[in-house]
Structure 1
Amino acid sequence: MTHASSRRIAAVLTCVTIGLSPRMASAEEDKLALGREIFLERSEPQCALCHTLADAEAVGEVGPNLDELKPDAERVNTAVTNGIGPMPANEILTDEEIEAVALYVSTVAGKAK
């Protein structure tokens, strides 16, 4: 069994246990994966250049350490959309992409990988 297969089975079992459909869990996993990709690659500048976030193996030192800050999704969304301090306002990400990166950061921040 591959690692991906094991993760999918675990996700389905978790869904059954808490009463979610596997499809809902898969959508959440997809959104988290998109958020991680945006954090590491798609944003301009890349979030990982400035921020520390263990899950993304990012060790930036310009912006706040997100593992210590543990922002909620609304705070991340606002910061990405409007900019804050030296962080520029978003000019390239769609609302869906901002929502995905906000979900990702708020979900993984403060949780060691």
Structure 2
Amino acid sequence: QTVQSQKICNKEQITQLDHKNITKIYDFWQQDGKYYCIMEFVDGVNLTQFIQQKSLSFDELVDLFQQIIAGLQYLHSNGFVHGDLTSNNIIISDMKVKITDFVQNSHTQMMF
């Protein structure tokens, strides 16, 4: 398999990821040494901001962490590893979790 066909395969893999707890990636590419990405817009706040703004019950915290785990399990089962997961990469909107910024931290780094 050539490097070029491997690039296409990896791009197809990441754009086909579809899970309610990860940000959808529609397209990404490299141009002039810079990386560009078109992704789903998530209107929310990061995990740290959310916890500071809202008093959460134990059950609400468990629900949030179950969503984080579900998103990570999906990424891992599809061969992707976030590699730099922080509260800044976890966006919450209406008690729904979206994991973001996983493209540059996955095996797609090897694409270009």
Per residue, is there more strand in 1 or in 2? 2
Give me the TM-score of the superposition, normalised by structure 2.
0.33
Give me the TM-score of the superposition, normalised by structure 1.
0.33
Return the structure number with greater relative CO, CA threshold 8 A, min gap 6: 2
